[in-house]
Copies of this chain bind each other. A is one copy, B any other.
Amino acid sequence: MGIKEEAKKMKLAAPRLAASSIEKRNAALAAIADALLNHKEDVFAANKKDMTSAVEEDISPAIRKRLKFDEGKMKDSIEGLKGLIALPDPLGKVTLNRELDDDLVLKRIGVPIGVIGVIFEARPDAMIQVASLCIKSGNCAILKGGSETKESNRVIFSIIKDAIKTAGLPEESLYQAEQRSEISELLECDEYVDLLIPRGSNSFVRYIMENTKIPVMGHSAGICHIYVDKEADFELAKKVIIDAKTNYPAACNAVETILVSEDIKESFLPELTAALGDAHVEIKENAYGVEYGDLTVSVLTVKDVEEAVTHINTYGSHHTDCIITKNDETADYFETMVDSAGVYRNCSTRFADGFRYGFGAEVGISTGKLHARGPVGLDGLLTYKYILEGNGNIVSDYASGKRSFTHKDI
């Protein structure tokens, strides 16, 4: 059966999953944790096969490190599941309770989005994390993990599928796509799938955005800036810049362009150049708006904070941008004027992350402005609906003036 048929069944199952109790959803998460522990030898054996194939296919050591699922990652995954179980039920929250008239009451209630397609990187722990976020938030999901982890994902997904059955949740709630060819089929499912979350390289996310009518949540690029103001603490500036560039250069929240105030060109630039050199970072002087993703950084001078803001709003990707300054007024100006998901002062851009923000878990980072912006936690997987209960109320009575609205929040 193809993805389209699975998605169609999911669309009809979605209201049943949405209506399921938090007890059942948490029981499914607990069952996943138990089964992972009980079958950990099976998971490790499958992972060993993936690791062997990765060596045979000459996959880079950096990627192989992410493929590996060992005791440490198992422990983290179990802890992640327990953390998720401990979170309150995100569904059913009443965010508006308003009497429109004596006998006509409007409520706005948090509900799952419905059917979500998540395409994620080759990491066995990502499968556990994504599936459990969808279960907790009551969303049906089509899951496609990186093909380099297909053996591990097959075992893990069968554990997850058993757990939702045992917990009494609809079986159709989750589906694993295993073939790369299924992605293009998924992109055609705009009738049944409410949201796509692609994780991976920018070119991949852009490809998804450009080839589907389904709304997409993801980051299109991570061109982060640090502006060093004339009133910066130089030591602090160097420390933050080195961390933001070197802590994990491939991450979307790594810094790509350093803007330096012209006023400190002579006093600060030589220091910065030396520090970057010590950290093996290559400097490009006339480039900007580039996402390097490695130990390379653009360094430019700008006249002042206003020019820095204009540069960032023009050439940045509205992800995360930072000012280094001791001046509160300059910082306020920067924080107000920079149009990015994260605007920072005196700290590393690498903090832009759901776990570091304390969201418990992260679905991804959004550089879009609609629905969810920045690191996205469980909240990003929710929408709401309006419930209106009356007693035979009709609009023509209010239009004619026979009755009138009270609009009283209760």
Could you list which residues of chain A lie within 8 angstroms of chain B, going by C-beta atoms?
A: 11-12, 14-16, 18-19, 98, 100, 104, 106, 113-114, 194-195, 209-210, 213, 215, 217, 233, 235-236, 239-240, 242-244, 247, 309-310, 313-314, 331, 335-348, 350-352, 356-358, 368-371, 373-375, 383-396, 398-399, 405, 407
CA distance A16 to B339 in the complex (A): 10
In the bound complex, residues from chain B placing their C-beta under 8 Å from that of A405 are 356, 358
Q: Are B345 and A389 in contact (CB under 8 A)?
A: yes
Q: Are B347 and A394 in contact (CB under 8 A)?
A: yes
Closest 9 CB pairs of A and B: A347-B390, A243-B394, A358-B407, A350-B395, A236-B392, A347-B393, A370-B371, A371-B371, A15-B337
Q: Are B247 and A15 in contact (CB under 8 A)?
A: no
Q: Are A395 and B356 in contact (CB under 8 A)?
A: yes
CA distance A12 to B370 in the complex (A): 19
Report which of B98, B247, B336, B375 forms a contact with A399, defined as CB distance below 8 A: B247
Q: Tell me the minimal C-beta distance from A346 to chain B in angstroms.
A: 5
Report which of B310, B356, B394 forms a contact with A240, defined as CB distance below 8 A: B394
CA distance A399 to B392 in the complex (A): 60
Closest to A342 in B: B386
Q: Tell me the minimal C-beta distance from A116 to chain B in angstroms.
A: 11
- Tell me whether A387 and B343 are in contact in the complex, defined as CB-CB below 8 angstroms, given that A368-B215, A370-B371 are known contacts: yes
Q: Are B395 and A100 in contact (CB under 8 A)?
A: no
CA distance A265 to B238 in the complex (A): 78
Q: Are A114 and B356 in contact (CB under 8 A)?
A: no
Closest to A368 in B: B215
